[in-house]
Amino acid sequence: MRLPPAILGNAEEVLREILRFMSPADVTLSRYFKDHPRLGGRERGAIAECVYAVLRNKSFFTDFAGAGATMRRLTLLGMAEAIGADSLGGLTEDEVAFLTRIKEIDRSLLPPKKLANLPDWLYDKFVAQYGEEETLALAAVLNTPAPLDLRVNSLKTDRDKVIAELATAPIAAEPTPYSALGLRIWKKPALQNLPLFKEGAIEVQDEGSQVLAQLLGARRGEMVVDFCAGAGGKTLAIGAIMRSTGRLYAFDVSEKRLTKLKPRLARSGLSNVHPVVIAHERDAKVKRLAGKIDRVLVDAPCSGMGTLRRNPDVKWRQQLEGIAELTEKQASILDGASRLVKFGGRLVYATCSLLDEENDGIVQGFLASHPDFELVPMHKVLAEQRIPLEMGDYLKMLPHKHGTDGFFAAVLERKAAPAKPVADESDDAAEQ
């Protein structure tokens, strides 16, 4: 069944706005659909897939659309990539010929940089880190849609029961390899209508993010802080690991983001989570807890280069100059959060970036200026948490190797307090 020709006009209209890169693509799409309530589910799906296809293939599409690289041609290429040219109605003979010509191009013969569909600065950084061959393997996966990962709420059910209940929907779900509570779905069903979702038995969360929450090693009854909680995905996972005991603070500078946590928290059944809006990493609310917290997670604001499967616009919106600003902020946040950690406590620094300067570089700089902390090798932490991953000192999850978003994490521990010196009795006697 072909889509009505008018849908191409809708897609072209929203694509023009998105390619200005003034706001995230998903935000712009959501606003556009709200302003056009007559668009049905099938039409909305096609428009969204068209937009994301253009964002993933922007470099290739722009080059091969030629001198006529108009918004119409980019829209046609996006739609053809997303749903197939045969599903498009109202095309002219020239447009059909254009799509046929583009389809016949053997993309494997493109120069590596064009094949990667990455901005020049990002491609060069990846090649410097990974080499050209692995960069192309990474880029190939980053330029495909991500599956949908779920986390099973262990306070309410278990993974086998969820698989069985989803199958009655019918939704096929398979266990994820690294998270014992993770499920992977290759289609995009409307989960919000399922009883499992409404009752808080499942949450949407990438498997890599689930692993990060587990690395914290939170235990029942402890004092724990999720320092950059956002909408609270990892907060909820940590709370379930703690079995809703102890005290779990969800800190964030954005009240709007924390507001999104409230309905999720209500569904989860957790009673130990305390959302707190802070002004910055040195807020008085943070200082009051200095040296009192058992475990702190810092999932720092970052470039998001590990999430390009879900957010392909990020690679075009982010600029090289912005990375330096981010690393300065990351170092400051990690320093501020570290003050919360008690002697012998654990601090986990994490990002969803693939860039060394946001990851290894931040941790090494922190350790150099904080001799009271030491790195816990990641392979040791993974064994402790029974996570079947092979890593060195750091966690580095890569989309083309692990099937997750790109994630980095380092586990740090504050050294035990130095023992107080014991007075020498012979010295006391001599003084008498």
Has 428 been labeled as part of a binding site? Answer: no
Measure Cα distances from 424 to 418, 419, 420 in Å.
Answer: 18, 15, 12
* Beta bridge mates, 395: 409
* Beta bridge mates, 273: 248
Looking at residue 30, the DSSP 8-state letter turns out to be H
SS3 318: coil
- Answer whether the bond into residue 111 is a cis peptide, omega within 30°: no
With 0-12 CB in 10 A as exposed, 13-18 as middle and 19+ as buried, what is 420? exposed
* Whether the Cβ atoms of residue 211 and residue 238 lie closer than 8 Å to each other: no
Pick the closest to residue 264 from 222, 307, 231 (CA basis).
231
DSSP result, 392-419: SSSEEE-HHHHSS--EEEEEEEEPPPPP
The residues annotated with a catalytic role in the active site are 352
Has 424 been labeled as part of a binding site? Answer: no
Cβ-Cβ contacts under 8 Å for 288 (sequence gap 6 or more): none
Amino acid at 398: L
* Whether the Cβ atoms of residue 37 and residue 77 lie closer than 8 Å to each other: no
* Whether the Cβ atoms of residue 292 and residue 7 lie closer than 8 Å to each other: no
SS3 144: coil
> Binding site for S-adenosyl-L-methionine: residue ranges?
252, 299
> Binding site: residue ranges?
252, 299
